[in-house]
Amino acid sequence: MHIEIVWIGADGPVAKGYEFEAPCTVDAALRIAAMDAEFALAGLGSATVGVFGRIVAREQALEEGDRIEIYHGAAVDPKLARRARARKSR
């Protein structure tokens, strides 16, 4: 089955397709992706993951054509960043 894995890296978005034997879980797919140099900095072991925008458990079974998304928290709290910009513009 074809599965796509995506994340936003420092150099922009990374999206790669992989072929897996069914049945396959999110965790099994991420273990294979972790061996890929393009996902080396993705922090796959600790990141929150989802399938098509919905957060899922790593034990979630995948279906043909699923897209695994790797989520990371914001580097800066958006509320604090907005306040800092407002103070700077005054």
Q: What is the CATH number of the domain that holds 10?
A: 3.10.20.30
Q: Is the peptide bond before 78 cis (omega within 30 degrees of 0)?
A: no
* pLDDT score for 55: 92
pLDDT tens digits for range 13-58:
889 999 999 899 999 999 888 888 887 777 777 788 999 989 999 9
* pLDDT score for 50: 92
Q: 43 is written with which tokens?
A: 């922090």
pLDDT band at 74 (very low <50, low <70, confident <90, very high): low
Give the list of residues 6+ apart from residue 82 with CB closer than 8 angstroms, or none.
Answer: none
pLDDT band at 75 (very low <50, low <70, confident <90, very high): low
The total of structural domains in the chain comes to 1
Q: 89 is written with which tokens?
A: 């513009």
Domain residues for the domain of 38 are: 2-89
